[in-house]
Amino acid sequence: MNQLKHLAIILDGNRRWAKENGLAGLEGHKKGYDNVEKIGLDAFNKGVKYLTVFAFSTENWKRSKKEVTYLMNLLFNALTIDLKFYLKHEIIVKVIGRVGGLSKKLQDAIVDAEEKTKNGKKGQLNLCINYGGRAEIIDAVKELVLNNVPLEDVDEKKISELLWTSGIPDPDLIVRTSGEHRLSGFLTWQGVYSEIKFINKYWPDFSPQDVDDCISDFAERKRRFGS
């Protein structure tokens, strides 16, 4: 049986959840934000070592200024006010994405949060912020060029070392909530042999029972890796 060590989730459906519950769209984001702590702790308690969540994509900047500002404030709070939760439960927090494209205030909060939580023993939460799979690969290729890496030295290992996820094992299972059946540039390089699971419920409704289902489902998958 397979053991789920790295679970990656596309947190989709917050705005639709809010609409169906008669709430403003931003309230859906708050509900989804709160769910990350609950599901993260539950997953780590059940043996998951890495949880990677798609929090804000490189395309999400196209949303309204009001919504983007609200999301950035939620992320800032997660890395500052709510950091005590991750410290209490010994959870490592790491941000993955084009960090340089974020505000100076948020960049400083990221550095501080990563430093304070780096010795956590429970598990590692990877927050994908200003993240895009193609953007990640493009930036890795730029590093190859800037560093004048010889052509013969360019291989999968070298590229993996230059990705934002360097040092993090590839995801075992990628989950998308809300019923959408696409990955939207999430872990494009890393997910080539990940198992995929699409769930019809919106992210705010994702529960510990769904974590159990993911673990059970993954345990029964037949993984051949091309063989």
Give residue 211's pLDDT.
Answer: 98
pLDDT reported for residue 224: 84
* Residues paired with 56 in a beta bridge: 129
Check residue 1 and give its pLDDT. 85
For the chain, domain boundaries: 6-220
Catalytic residue of the set 2, 42, 60, 108: 60
pLDDT, averaged per 10 consecutive residues of the chain (227 residues), comes to: 96 97 95 97 98 97 97 97 97 98 98 98 98 98 97 97 98 98 98 98 98 97 84
Is 60 assigned a catalytic role?
Answer: yes
Model confidence, pTM: 0.96
CATH code of the domain made up of 6-220: 3.40.1180.10
Cα-to-chain-centroid distance, residue 191 = 12
Q: What are phi and psi of 172, to 5 degrees?
A: -80, -40
- Predicted pLDDT at 223: 86
User: Does residue 12 have an active-site annotation?
Assistant: yes
**Strands of the chain, DSSP E:** 6-10, 50-57, 91-96, 123-131, 173-176, 195-198
Which position has the token pair 């998951």? 48
Amino acid in the structure at residue 197: K
CA–CA gap between residue 22 and residue 166 (Å, rounded): 42
At 223, give phi and psi (nearest 5°): -105, 115
Helices (H), 46-194: 65-79, 83-88, 104-117, 133-146, 156-162
Q: Which of 12, 14, 35, 172 is catalytic?
A: 12
For tokens 């395309």, name the residue. 59
What pLDDT is attached to residue 209? 98
Hey, how many other C-beta atoms are within 10 angstroms of the C-beta on 163?
20
